[in-house]
Amino acid sequence: MSKDVGIVTLDGDRKVLLQQWECVVLERQHDVVCCELYDLTDESNPVEYAEVLLSEFNTWDLPLLVEGAVFYWSLGHLRRQTGQVKRFTEFRLRRMPKLGQAKRNEITRKVKNLSGLLLGK
């Protein structure tokens, strides 16, 4: 779910977003990921820290949980079409494309040009 979307309806079921964080992996230990949490629901809240069990993540996401990786942690209610309400928690990793050497060189060149403009060089 996106931070801008509070309610999503799927096949008659509704997901109601209550809280969402953007999380940055600080360290991965044996069975947990240590991370910084940035509150997307109320951005004036201070940074928080948490340890999340690796078992909370999809198996295919585990290799991506390295230092600096970003994931989103959403909490909310799932309201079934039948009227049943369940609390849900969802972890979704942000996937960034790998950059080739040519693209990295281009970005470095642009940063140097912009730095020169800002510094008056």
- Quote the pLDDT of residue 63: 92
Q: Helix (H, G, I), strand (E, B), or coil: what is residue 104? A: helix
3-state helix, strand, coil in the chain (%, to 5): 25, 45, 35
Residue 29 is given by DSSP the state -
Q: Where are the alpha helices (DSSP H) in 1-121?
A: 101-119
Tokens of 104: 């990295």
| Global confidence as pTM | 0.68
Say what percent of the chain tops pLDDT 90. 55
Q: Report pLDDT digits (tens) over 19-73.
A: 999 999 999 998 999 999 999 999 999 999 999 999 999 999 999 999 999 999 9
